[in-house]
């Protein structure tokens, strides 16, 4: 199973629409997750892509989003993913608090945004990934998105794809 990750689109839906079109027929992509700062950018495409599961959390600029601030996604009977924007977990100061919280929730992985900078790492035994920003990269990073692969045995890997 593969999951497409996007974050921090800030109302720029053109790039998101192009990305969804690119992956809409990819049989391996089962879910698209938006880590906030305009969750509605993704949720607005639900009717257009009924074959994809679209999930989103609200971020610090999602004043009117109809999205929760956190999600705990159950991918298999034993594999859970914690999703948050990250601002309430102070991710700009480090990932320890985020990983601890994900572990507390029983998650094997955690996806977040907020920093606009991509990272794929392990923290306290938790797979942690931020795809960066699809449209507003920071600190020399490039605009991009992420692809996460979860094997049938529960092995997880992630890749950040620059655009």
Tokens of 113: 């945004």
What band does 153 get if pLDDT is binned at 50, 70 and 90?
confident
Selection from 104, 148, 159 nearest residue 126 by Cα: 104
Task: Provide the whole-model pTM.
Answer: 0.95
Q: What is the 3-state secondary structure (H, E, C) of 75-141?
A: CCCCCEEEEECCHHHCHHHCCHHHHHHHHHCCCCEEECCCCCCEEEEEECCEEEEEECCCCCCCCCC
**Does residue 65 surpass a pLDDT of 80?**
no
Write out pLDDT tens, residues 37-59: 999 999 999 999 998 999 999 99
Domains of the chain: 2-162 (3.60.21.10)
Percent of the chain residues topping a pLDDT of 90: 91
Confidence of residue 157 (pLDDT cuts 50, 70, 90): very high
- 88-97 residue pLDDT tens: 999 999 999 9
């Amino acid at each position: 199973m593969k999951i497409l990750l996007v974050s921090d689109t800030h109302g720029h839906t053109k790039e998101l629409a192009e990305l969804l079109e690119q992956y809409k027929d990819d049989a391996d992509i089962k879910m698209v997750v938006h880590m906030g700062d305009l969750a509605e950018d993704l949720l607005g495409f639900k009717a257009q892509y009924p074959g994809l599961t679209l999930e989103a959390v609200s971020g610090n600029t999602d004043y009117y989003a109809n999205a929760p601030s956190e999600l705990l996604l159950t991918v298999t009977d034993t594999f859970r993913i914690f999703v948050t924007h990250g601002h309430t977990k102070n991710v700009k100061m480090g990932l320890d608090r985020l990983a601890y919280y994900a572990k507390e929730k029983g998650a094997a992985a955690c996806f977040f945004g907020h920093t606009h900078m991509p990272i794929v790492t392990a923290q306290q035994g938790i797979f942690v990934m931020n795809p960066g920003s699809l449209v507003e990269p920071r600190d020399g990073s490039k605009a991009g998105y992420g692809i996460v692969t979860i094997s049938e045995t529960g092995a997880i890997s992630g890749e950040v794809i620059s655009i």
